[in-house]
Structure 1
Amino acid sequence: MGATFNGLVGLIILALDIWAIINVFKSSAETGMKIIWVLLILLLPVLGLVIWAIAGPRGNVRF
């Protein structure tokens, strides 16, 4: 059960990171800031996602 659970958590984090990166690209932030946000999300997948959720730029993505 442990490996399956860890794999599922990893896939969820990957999906959320991809979603966050798409939102960064769709945002109106400057190109330099977009690059910094994408690097933060890629280098620190969980922490970067949390920081982006709190302070990051949002795109015009509808739920």
Structure 2
Amino acid sequence: MVDMGYALAGQFWGQGIMTEALAELTERCLAQPECYRVQAACDVENQASARLWEKVGFSR
């Protein structure tokens, strides 16, 4: 199992950087036979972060 999280400086928000990075990292993790689950947590008040996780395939 893999736990993920991120922090990105505000000046880089909205550029698709984390979308691309998290999608690629998730894909690479799940390609490993020993990785059966990838999970993440974010602040419940941070709706943008929750939407980002959903955009790359995570569910609440």
**TM-score of the alignment, normalized to the shorter chain, above 0.5:** no
TM range (shorter): 0.3 to 0.5
Q: Which has the higher helix share?
A: 1
Higher strand share: 2
With the length of structure 1 as denominator, give the TM-score of the two structures: 0.40
